[in-house]
Amino acid sequence: MTELNRHQIRQAAFQSLFGLALNPTADVDTTITQVLVGDPEIAWEDEIPADLTSVVLGVVAKQDELDLMITDHLSSDWTLDRLNTTDLVLMRLALYEAKFTDVPAKIAVNEALQLAHDFTDDKSRKFINGILNKSLTLN
């Protein structure tokens, strides 16, 4: 089996979390499998990488706490409901990695911005960067 690199795991985690954000009752393993099967850049075979499952389940388990961290840094007239799903999921993923794993905060933010480059626009990348920097006090 070909192992996924850290970036591929993050990308698959982001895509899985995005799918789960749109369909919260979906089965996590099924969602991850659909992402892996559907990504032509990933040479994946039958077993879901444990790191991928761990990150997805971790973000899902800590979602309320992660959302509070994000909400604390939104301007007073903004709520999570106003954020687009892509931005929200990328921020949840980066905050989870920085706060609850051994990934350094700067790397988690950098990876989120790399994914944002592929899945959002420049305005969203700046917004994500600002919220993450405030949430992780990188300024």
- How far is the first Cα of the chain from the last one, in angstroms, to the nearest whole number? 41
With pLDDT > 90 as the criterion, what percentage of the chain qualifies?
76
If you average pLDDT over every residue of the chain, what do you get?
91
87-133 pLDDT tens trace: 999 999 999 999 999 999 999 999 999 999 999 999 999 999 999 99
State yes or no: pLDDT of 1 exceeds 50: no
Assigned fold of 6-135 = N-utilizing Substance Protein B Homolog; Chain A (1.10.940)
With pLDDT > 70 as the criterion, what percentage of the chain qualifies?
92
Q: Name the residue among 121, 50, 45 with its Cα closest to residue 90.
A: 121
pLDDT at 67 (0 to 100):
96
Per the model's pLDDT, the better-predicted residue between 49 and 42 turns out to be 49
φ, ψ at 49 (rounded to 5°)? -60, 135
Quote the tokens at residue 118. Answer: 């592929």
State yes or no: pLDDT of 77 exceeds 80: yes
